[in-house]
Amino acid sequence: MSEVGKPLGKDLVGLEGLSADQLRMILDTAEPFKEISERRIKKVPVLRGKTIVNLFFEASTRTRISFEFAEKRLSADTVNISSTGSSVAKGETLVDTARNLEAMRIDMVVIRHGASGAARFLAERIPSNVINAGDGWHEHPTQGLLDLLTIRDRMGRIEGLRVCIVGDIKHSRVARSNIYGLRALGAEVAVCGPRTLLPPAPEELGCRVFSRVEEAIEWADVLNVLRLQLERMQAGYVPSLREYNRIWGVSTARLEAAPRDILVLHPGPMNRGVEIDSDVADGPHSVILNQVTNGVAVRMAVLYLLAGGQPERAEAAKEGGEA
Amino acid sequence: MSESDVRRAVARMAREIVERNGGTDGLVLMGIHRRGVQIADMVRREIREAEGVEVPTGSIDITLYRDDLEVIGPRPIVGGSNLPAAGIDGKVVVLVDDVAYTGRTTKAALNEVGDWGRPRRIVLCVLIDRGGRELPIQPDITGREVQVPEGQHVEVLVPEHDGRLGVDLVEKGAESS
């Protein structure tokens, strides 16, 4: 997937296919970037002069703002485009939109799109770096990375941990990126949710399956609780929100029955009282706000690593760049 | 340079820093990653022995302030930056590095310090000045000036990274950093 000598290649479309070394490099690079957001002047000049377009065809608050902070703290120039109020609403195709942006000389595109595969489709057609900010049911790699970073921060490692993803796995790009990333770094991964919301063959992704959330909690070190998208209920996948909460909801009572201290993640936005109870979300098990903080650092790391130029010229530059 | 040569040079640099400043009031040492950090730490210990004062010491990693990311590609950010708790506003900041060469590292460090705060004065202190400047930046305090023959390279060795203290001239291409 990555070209030889380039740490990540041109694009970040997904975590599938990334090696453990590549994932660790991104997480290690994110560490020093955390500190920049704690400074009085939250800005370093490393991407000065780069132009980044945030192309969001789906609604997003957290991811878009997080990317925008990451870009601005690295001194890039950013433009935000959303599908409403742009020529996309007039029927322009994705490639035409991107080609027009390229004609204005941009360097990177961050894309969120409702269709699985949209990020790869774009990456193969334009020379700019493309970062997937979520495409349909496929992947949301930077969310996966920030989850990995948050787990590593708290647990000190990822290898050997038992992580269970709870909720709507089938329609979740967050679940997929988590599964690829966690498995590459040596964690055991399980999924837990109503049969109707599990992928047809979770075993093929290397996951155990728990049909009861109590069993998952007994087994796991970490729970990643996914949002129940309300449209799923309307489509008949689950009978009612109350019933979902009663059977699948992560509550303090269930966590207290666990044999060990469990870390609880949630990618947001939360439906309090549906997939997660308020006292869990705000309680000692939760690292939900750490995830948000880490999201900026991880995105800075990805932008930084993708922005680097040709390593074949590195030797020549080092001669002149020494001290 | 042998280990004792380096120690003597560092001791003299420490004395010169204190002398120029008229004491240790307001001094802050900032080592530049990587090997400037260890040199700064040695300077700090020398000042503590001579003056009995612990000078606040921090470190900076200028990776994100380099002007050549395009050319060299992304490099690992080795240490991050570390500011002394009291900050640098109104202080006399002594930038400490192992080798002064093109001046580009120093320029990047000056830019970064400028983003951290507004020191009263910034002083540049290096163990080795090997000439070859590409920018109008000169050290204020130098351990030793070295003429480097064509095709050779100065390498400062510190125990933390290299297992011993010293300065070597090595053939180009053989250097480790």
A305: closest chain B residue by CA: B74
Can you tell me the distance from the alpha carbon of B38 to that of B79, in angstroms, rounded to the nearest whole number? 13
CB A131 within 8 A of CB A9: no
Respond yes or no: is residue A260 known to be catalytic. Answer: no
Give A86's DSSP letter.
S
pLDDT of res. B177? 45
A32: closest chain B residue by CA: B80
Query: Does the ipTM exceed 0.90?
Result: no
Give A214's DSSP letter.
H
pLDDT digits over A79-119, tens only?
Answer: 998 877 677 777 788 888 888 988 999 999 999 999 999 99
Can you tell me the distance from the alpha carbon of A132 to that of A136, in angstroms, rounded to the nearest whole number? 11
User: Rounded to the nearest 10 degrees, what angle do helices A141-155 and A20-36 cross at?
Assistant: 80
Q: Do A320 and B74 touch (CB under 8 A)?
A: no
A41: closest chain B residue by CA: B115
Chain A contact present for B101, CB below 8 A? yes
CB B24 within 8 A of CB B70: no
Helix segments in A74-131, DSSP class H: 94-103, 118-123
> Nearest-CA neighbor of A37 among B69, B60, B63, B81?
B81
CB B27 within 8 A of CB B17: yes
Can you tell me the distance from the alpha carbon of A16 to that of A200, in angstroms, rounded to the nearest whole number? 19
Q: Phi and psi dihedrals of B172, rounded to 5?
A: -60, 145
According to DSSP, the β-strands at B152-157 and B166-171 are antiparallel
Which of A43-57, B65-79, B98-112, B116-130 is predicted least confidently? Answer: B65-79
CB A73 within 8 A of CB A42: yes
To which H or E segment does residue A285 belong?
A: none
Respond yes or no: is residue A195 known to be catalytic. Answer: no
Which regions of chain A are under pLDDT 50?
1-5, 309-323
Can you tell me the distance from the alpha carbon of B119 to that of B28, in angstroms, rounded to the nearest whole number? 10
Residue in this structure with the two tokens 């060469």, named with its chain if needed: B101
Can you tell me the distance from the alpha carbon of A174 to that of A133, in angstroms, rounded to the nearest whole number? 10
Respond yes or no: is residue A63 known to be catalytic. Answer: yes
Residue in this structure with the two tokens 């606040």, named with its chain if needed: B56
pLDDT digits over A112-144, tens only?
Answer: 999 999 999 999 999 999 999 999 999 999 999
Tokens read off for B127: 């163990």
pLDDT digits over A207-219, tens only?
Answer: 999 999 999 999 9
Among B68, B102, B117, the residue with its CB nearest the CB of A323 is B102
Chain B contact present for A314, CB below 8 A? yes
Min Cα–Cα distance to chain B from A46, Å: 5
For residues A243, A247, A251, A252, the Cα torsion angle rounded to the nearest 10 degrees is 130
Q: What mean pLDDT value characterizes chain B? A: 90
User: Rounded to the nearest 10 degrees, what angle do helices A62-73 and A141-155 cross at?
Assistant: 80
Q: Do A318 and B72 touch (CB under 8 A)?
A: yes
CB A179 within 8 A of CB A205: yes
Q: Collect all residues of chain A within an 8 Å Cβ-Cβ radius of residue B81.
A: 32, 35
CA–CA distances in Å: residue A228 to residues A141, A146, A171, B148: 20, 20, 10, 67
CA–CA distances in Å: residue A2 to residues A19, A139, A140, A315, B159: 9, 17, 18, 21, 36
SS3 A272: strand
Residue B107, pLDDT > 50, answer yes
pLDDT digits over B30-67, tens only?
Answer: 999 889 999 999 999 999 999 999 999 999 998 888 87
More confident residue, B130 or B150: B130
pLDDT of res. A255? 95
Min Cα–Cα distance to chain B from A154, Å: 20
Chain A contact present for B19, CB below 8 A? no
Residues 6 or more apart whose CB falls under 8 angstroms from that of A292 comprise: A62, A66, A268
